[in-house]
């Protein structure tokens, strides 16, 4: 009976694209800025997802249970530093692929056009985009 209880409380391995938005945003923070404490994550999320410190800790706990982040003592009081366990590129591809199919009817040109229309790229970003296109044409 105890074994059945343990099995019932064990969470299944979750991939990043299956995460609720708040958990994915915490994971994206770690991908973009690198290892961080809960307070640093909260500060990074503040402009678009204001959360209480306890809420950030809950999201990090869920991500740890799913095997998507690890933690270690920071050396600064009781704080822990959290790190992602996976690289973002494969997850980015799966998330964008799913979004492209579900929202944009599988049309990647519409995805790119929507991105560029939502925020004008900087000159440096335009150069990077041109380089990507040049590289694709050469392949």
Confidence (pLDDT) at 2? 43
DSSP 62-126: HHHHTTSEEEEE-SSTT-EEEEESS-HHHHHHHHHHHHHHHHHTT-HHHHHHHHHHHSPPPHHHH
What pTM, to 2 d.p., does this model score?
0.71
- Examine the domain organization and report whether 7 and 72 are in the same domain: yes
Count up the domains in the chain and report the number: 2
Confidence (pLDDT) at 17? 74
Q: Using one digit for the tens of pLDDT, what is the confidence trace for 109-136?
A: 999 999 999 999 999 999 999 999 999 9
Confidence (pLDDT) at 16? 80
- Examine the domain organization and report whether 61 and 114 are in the same domain: no
Q: Using one digit for the tens of pLDDT, what is the confidence trace for 69-125?
A: 999 998 878 899 999 998 888 888 888 888 899 999 999 999 999 999 999 999 999
- Examine the domain organization and report whether 40 and 95 are in the same domain: no
3-state secondary structure of 68: coil
- Examine the domain organization and report whether 43 and 72 are in the same domain: yes
Confidence (pLDDT) at 48? 92
- Examine the domain organization and report whether 11 and 49 are in the same domain: yes
- Examine the domain organization and report whether 72 and 45 are in the same domain: yes
């Amino acid at each position: 009976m105890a074994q059945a209880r343990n099995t019932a409380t064990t969470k299944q391995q979750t991939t990043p694209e299956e995460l609720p938005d708040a958990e994915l945003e915490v994971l994206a923070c770690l991908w973009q800025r690198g290892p961080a404490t809960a307070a640093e994550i909260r500060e990074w999320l503040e402009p678009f997802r204001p959360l209480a410190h306890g809420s950030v800790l809950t999201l990090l706990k869920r991500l740890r249970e799913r095997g998507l982040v690890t933690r270690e003592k920071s050396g600064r009081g009781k704080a822990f530093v959290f790190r992602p366990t996976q690289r973002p590129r494969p997850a980015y591809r799966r998330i964008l692929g799913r979004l492209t199919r579900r929202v944009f009817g599988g049309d990647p040109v519409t995805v790119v056009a929507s991105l560029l229309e939502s925020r004008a790229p900087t000159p440096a970003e335009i150069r990077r985009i041109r380089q990507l296109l040049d590289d694709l044409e050469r392949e």
